[in-house]
Structure 1
Amino acid sequence: MKGFGFIQRDDGQPDAFVHISAVERAGMISLNEGDRLEFELEVDRRGKYAAVNLNPQQ
């Protein structure tokens, strides 16, 4: 496990970076391809989007 990855956004905008710490704060162990999530976006100091406050969806 790398400790980070990217989430494809439904709105067609660029993928959002996600760090394992955001996954763990949401009470999850990992993310798998195809998992559905609600999340908020933060812009980091480089202007890239990061997913935070993850909420798994069924």
Structure 2
Amino acid sequence: MDALVEQLTDPAAQKRVPPRAAKLLGNLDSPIDSGLEQLVSSAVEQVVTSSAFESFR
């Protein structure tokens, strides 16, 4: 997940955004990471609790 978050935030830093903006983007790493983890977890839960997986329970 960390690599994906870096892919989202690093390009802005590489484009020489103002220091305050770069710091704000850096501060968003944790919320972005948390949101992505929650999204993946929710999607996996929906898939494994679907009727398609019913025979595996």
Specify if TM > 0.5: no
Report the TM-score when normalising by structure 1: 0.20
Q: TM-score, normalised on structure 2?
A: 0.20
Structure possessing the higher relative contact order (Cα contacts under 8 Å, 6 or more residues apart): 2
- Structure richer in helix, relative to its length: 2
Higher gyration radius (CA): 2
Higher percent of residues as strand: 1
